[in-house]
Amino acid sequence: MNKRVVITGIGAVTPLGNNAADSWEGMKSGKNGIGKITKLDSSKQKVKMGAEVKDFAYRDKKEGRRMDLFSQYGVMAALEAFEMSGLVSGGNIDPTRLGVYAGSGIGGVMTLENEVQKSFERGFGRVSAVMVPMIIGNILAGNIAIILKARGSALDIVTACSCGTNAIGEGWRAIRHGYLDAIVAGAAEAPFAPTCFAGFANMTALSKREDPDRCSTPFDKERDGFVMGEGAGMIILEEFEHAKARNAKIYGEVAGYGSSCDAYHITAPEPSGKGAAKSMEMAIAEAGIRPDEIGYINAHGTGTLYNDLCETKAIKDVFGSAAYDIPVSSTKSMTGHMLGAAGSVEAIACIMAINDGIIPPTINLNVPDDELDLDYVPGKSRGKQATCVLSNSLGFGGHNGTLIFRKYS
């Protein structure tokens, strides 16, 4: 028998705030987290704007020196979510039944670039002895597990911009099938390293505009690329009976999950959107609901020419005429594209949308595109009581992930 999986904690570090409450407040109010880049020398870059985390301080300087910034973001978001949940490893949960499913698309790229530069300038003998455990792809799950004493399965998911969504979805399956009782699930990213940033700019993926209100423009006819963002989102997934037995506050339920691959191109989405459509169809089927029961879609919505077009096609294929009645918004218009962390932060937006009865907007959508004719909630948030909401993530390599969240009752 499949088990129910509920959400008992959330945590975030984003360009809108260094906790989940401030980040959600920023989304509700249409706050723009984009500005001129300060974490690298933009005078040497083609792109000048980004969505940076502001005024961030890790909890312990000594501990933080042994972590890349992406791990610091992820750990702080995980600690916030874990504290909210009220779980205590070795107390009200068996540590062998507590897992961590985390992800990052880029990993410790800031540390890697710093150490490579150091080796060229000062010799290989000056490379940090902890460089490897700071950059390796699995280290986010490892760091969280060590700090929280989580001795269950600790896995890192690497699916580019779908990392956060896939981490939550695979964690949901692990609890649903009885392998674990609770999981810290999500992703983190800190990609503002000069060479990494230049790589995204040189592939013409990033917007080159310098007006913060016209950089990240999902679904706008004048969209010209995404804005690089950073941060982390973590949620606590918990088996329903386990949460109920300890009288935990429940913020929602994960109802369905879909995962597919375009198998088409290393960066471009499949033009018809059929891969994204398949992911949504799988999630809806697993949730056991009709497509018209979805009350809101948090789109991948990057602001690139083809992503927004292909995702819109996919939504129409899945929902048919009902697609025109469903609010669809992109919170990337406010947070920028947080790469691997995007899906987990957007999952939090979906959870809070259900709890608060508010649909976050797509800001900066000023010029309608005739080919993009859905209800993208332009400019301002909207009041709506939605029972089921859907979140999409689409990553380089053709990775597609979809989550469906349900109001707890």
The letter for the amino acid at 294 is I
Contact 344, 235 (CB under 8 A): yes
Clarify whether 215 is annotated catalytic.
no
Distance of alpha carbon 107 from alpha carbon 120, whole angstroms: 22
Distance of alpha carbon 401 from alpha carbon 206, whole angstroms: 22
Distance of alpha carbon 154 from alpha carbon 102, whole angstroms: 8
Distance of alpha carbon 339 from alpha carbon 269, whole angstroms: 15
Q: Which of 196, 300, 350, 399 is catalytic?
A: 300
Distance of alpha carbon 53 from alpha carbon 188, whole angstroms: 12
Q: Residue 305 corresponds to which tokens in the numbers above?
A: 């020419």
Question: DSSP assignment, residue 4?
Answer: P
Q: Residue 88 corresponds to which tokens in the numbers above?
A: 């205590």
* Residue 320 exposed, middle or buried by CB count within 10 Å (0-12, 13-18, 19+): exposed
Clarify whether 300 is annotated catalytic.
yes
Neighbours of 43 (CB within 10 A): 7
Contact 155, 170 (CB under 8 A): yes
Reduced to 3 states (helix: H, G, I; strand: E, B; else coil), residue 200 is helix
- For 115, 341, 355, the CA distances from 338, given in Å and listed in that order, are 24, 5, 24
Q: Which of 196, 337, 350, 388 is catalytic?
A: 337
Clarify whether 399 is annotated catalytic.
no
Q: Residue 175 corresponds to which tokens in the numbers above?
A: 């609890």
Distance of alpha carbon 342 from alpha carbon 332, whole angstroms: 8
Residue 197 CB-half CA count within 13 A? 29
Question: DSSP assignment, residue 3?
Answer: P
Query: Residues 126-155, buried b or exposed e (16+ Cβ, 10 A)?
Result: eeeeebebbbebbbbbbbbbebbebbbbbb
Distance of alpha carbon 16 from alpha carbon 12, whole angstroms: 10
Q: Tokens 């920023």 map to which residue?
A: 26
Q: Which active-site residues does the annotation give?
A: 161, 300, 337
